Amino acid sequence: MNSRDAIRVDGLSFRYGDRVALDSVNFAVMSGSIFGFLGPNGGGKTTLFSILSSVLPVQSGTVCALGHDIRKESAAYRERIGVTFQAPGLDRRLTVLENLIHQGHLYGLTGKLLRQTADELLTQFGVADRQSDIVDTLSGGLKRRVELAKCLMHRPSLLLLDEPSAGLDPGARHDLWTCLEQLRADHGVTVVVTSHLMDEAERCDELALLHVGKIVAQGSPSNLRSRIPGECLTIVTEKPDVLRKKIQHELQIDAQRVGETLRFHQANGQELFQQIMQSFPDDIRSISLGKPTLEDVFLMETGSKFAEAVRD
């Protein structure tokens, strides 16, 4: 394991009976980075998260994190991680401060150090003025802040967050990510998140795209987008197969069909835009031109539109 890596995973596979949830997954997470797993529901994110948080065992392969083989040293590993699951983990009937105090007790904190740590975290996450409020009275965004503060009571080196902004409005999501970036900058904490939100994924230092249990692409958001040269042209049409054949015949350009849309990746996107508008105006419901997105990368790597790649 490289000394700069907080996590290294090699050949990780996991099955639920006959169903393969993870298939020979390999990746490394650099210490002090924000690393994201982006994928649709059913792609393997939750299973991978459960293994990294030691809820599920390592069936096949190796997972080394914070210098521990988590198959053999799970207890020592758990002492150094903070985990926030997608489902709320706060006691709704206790106050904000009481939630943090009880969490500290679980890790052996007592007395002055316990209260000092709780006060520092409440201040850091902007909820010090709500410490006496019952958790059930807080907004979704404030609850997420309290959950982050709670899971940091024992000063973990690695923070694992499963869909951290689920259910939050855009403003609360922005505040959450500001907190995460500040946490990484101030304390060097490594942050690993799972997400199915493209704008959230853009804020990660590095991403792994998960699809049906495999990592299909990995890199920084900008490096992933650079895999697609030029621009992306998207056409919505009532008869995609008909229009696709027309364009292929007249312009010698093939498109990828995704539902009712046709998508082209072209270096001369604006020129193609004008050609198609002039040649097939009656076949087009709408047409747009833009820079490649992470969803375009997912489509290129898997052949499936992100929203349509969900498995049961």
Assess if residue 157 is contained within a domain.
Answer: yes
Assess if residue 147 is contained within a domain.
Answer: yes
Assess if residue 304 is contained within a domain.
Answer: no
Assess if residue 154 is contained within a domain.
Answer: yes
Q: Where is the domain boundary, 223, 250, 267?
A: 223
Q: Is there a single domain that holds both residue 148 and residue 276?
A: no
| CATH code for position 278 | 3.30.70.790
Assess if residue 311 is contained within a domain.
Answer: no
pLDDT of residue 291: 86
pLDDT of residue 309: 53
Q: Checking DSSP bridges between strand 206-211 and strand 34-38, what pairing results, if any?
A: parallel
User: Structurally, how many domains does the chain consist of?
Assistant: 2
Assess if residue 140 is contained within a domain.
Answer: yes
Q: Is there a single domain that holds both residue 218 and residue 249?
A: no
Q: Is there a single domain that holds both residue 217 and residue 234?
A: no
Q: Is there a single domain that holds both residue 244 and residue 175?
A: no
> 248 lies in which domain range?
229-291
Q: Is there a single domain that holds both residue 237 and residue 112?
A: no
Q: Is there a single domain that holds both residue 153 and residue 279?
A: no
Q: Is there a single domain that holds both residue 177 and residue 31?
A: yes
Q: Is there a single domain that holds both residue 188 and residue 239?
A: no
Which residues share a beta bridge with 19?
A: 16
Nearest to 25 by CA among 41, 16, 37, 33: 37
Assess if residue 302 is contained within a domain.
Answer: no
Which residues share a beta bridge with 54?
A: none
pLDDT of residue 312: 36
pLDDT of residue 39: 87
Q: Is there a single domain that holds both residue 96 and residue 236?
A: no
- All residue ranges of the chain with pLDDT < 70 are 1-3, 305, 307-312
Q: Is there a single domain that holds both residue 202 and residue 250?
A: no
Q: Does pTM surpass 0.85?
A: no
What CA–CA distance (Å, rounded) separates 279 from 84? 53
Q: Is there a single domain that holds both residue 209 and residue 245?
A: no
Assess if residue 80 is contained within a domain.
Answer: yes
| CATH code for position 215 | 3.40.50.300
pLDDT digits (tens, 9 = 90+) for 255-299: 888 778 888 887 778 888 888 999 999 999 999 888 888 888 888
What CA–CA distance (Å, rounded) separates 206 from 190? 12
For the chain, the three-class secondary structure string (H helix, E strand, C coil) is CCCCEEEEEEEEEEEECCEEEEEEEEEEEECCCEEEEECCCCCCHHHHHHHHCCCCCCCEEEEEECCEECCCCHHHHHCCEEEECCCCCCCCCCEHHHHHHHHHHHCCCCHHHHHHHHHHHHHHCCCHHHCCCEHHHCCHHHHHHHHHHHHCCCCCCEEEEECCCCCCCHHHHHHHHHHHHHHHHHHCCEEEEEECCHHHHCCCCEEEEEECCEEEEEECHHHHHCCCCCEEEEEECCCHHHHHHHHHHHHCCCCEEECCEEEEEECCHHHHHHHHHHHCHHHCCEEEEECCCHHHHHHHHHCCCHHHCCCC
Q: Where is the domain boundary, 223, 251, 272?
A: 223
Q: Is there a single domain that holds both residue 17 and residue 56?
A: yes
